[in-house]
Copies of this chain bind each other. A is one copy, B any other.
Amino acid sequence: MNTVASAAPYHHGDLRRALLDSATAILTETGRWDFSLREVARRAGVSHAASYRHFTDKEALIAAVALTGYETLHTCMTTAIDEATGAVGTLRAIGQAYIGFGVANPALYRLMFGQALPSIEGLPPAVLAVLTEARAVLRGVILTGARAGAFAIDPEDEQEVSVAVVTAWSLVHGFTLLTIDRVVDREVRPQVIDTLAARVTERLIVGLLPT
């Protein structure tokens, strides 16, 4: 029963990956994260109970999908950082990359930061690790900028740095969600989302610059 496909490492193939792909496909097509496990299985061409050999739960499947999202977001941000120069430029790049990812993958973004997962605790450690690292990266950029005098922040004041981190994250997170939820559309024309994102990010940066 050898078909054209290359290595099929298991019994019937790499079902875990197939399920993940099906779930992601449904997610991006319908824009909804409340798909049924059975539909995912159906789409992957297996029986409805097969997924339980690879995911303990429906929630585990969703968490796995979310994890891929976190990883993609992470690489988006790191490549953006690599291509940017200077504290201000780096912060700008991070913001734009973050917003760009969210707007490009609205359903996935909502799944990642939505409700599906039971509060942030109780998530798979891998997810928490990526989140924590993302925040650390942001903090590092702001701290570097503060030390270089690019931002009006005392690098020794832990609280002040934290406030800046939370502010920046809140802004891009909120903007991304408002855009995804089309709350923003009626304020500006949709084709200028990039421009709007840039200007919103700029507002943040202006607020951080030394006078």
Contact assessment for A110 and B120 in the assembled complex, using a CB-CB cutoff below 8 Å = no
Q: Indicate which residue in B165, B173, B177 contacts A187 across the interface (CB closer than 8 Å).
A: B165
Given A177-B177, A178-B170, A187-B135: A200 and B163 interface contact (C-beta under 8 Å): yes
Contact assessment for A167 and B120 in the assembled complex, using a CB-CB cutoff below 8 Å = no
Encode A175-211 as 1/0 by CB contact (under 8 A) with B: 1011001111011100000001001100110111001
**Tally of A interface residues using CB under 8 Å:** 46
User: Bound state CA distance, A174 and B179, in angstroms?
Assistant: 12
Query: A205 → chain B, closest Cβ, in Å?
Result: 9
User: Bound state CA distance, A135 and B183, in angstroms?
Assistant: 10
Contact assessment for A167 and B115 in the assembled complex, using a CB-CB cutoff below 8 Å = no
Q: Indicate which residue in B113, B114, B167, B196 contacts A163 across the interface (CB closer than 8 Å).
A: B196
Contact assessment for B170 and A120 in the assembled complex, using a CB-CB cutoff below 8 Å = no
A residues 86-129 in Cβ contact with B at 8 Å:
110, 113-115, 119-121
User: Bound state CA distance, A34 and B177, in angstroms?
Assistant: 20
Contact assessment for B113 and A177 in the assembled complex, using a CB-CB cutoff below 8 Å = yes
User: Bound state CA distance, A203 and B204, in angstroms?
Assistant: 9
Q: 30 A-B pairs, CB-CB below 8 angstroms?
A: A31-B119, A32-B115, A34-B115, A114-B115, A119-B182, A120-B181, A121-B182, A132-B186, A135-B187, A163-B196, A163-B199, A163-B203, A164-B203, A166-B175, A166-B178, A166-B184, A166-B187, A166-B188, A167-B175, A167-B200, A167-B204, A169-B183, A170-B170, A170-B172, A170-B178, A174-B174, A174-B175, A174-B177, A204-B207, A211-B211
Apart from A32-B115, A167-B200, A174-B174, list 17 A-B contacts with CB within 8 A.
Answer: A110-B115, A132-B186, A135-B187, A162-B188, A162-B196, A163-B196, A163-B203, A165-B187, A166-B184, A166-B187, A167-B171, A167-B203, A170-B173, A172-B174, A173-B174, A177-B177, A207-B208
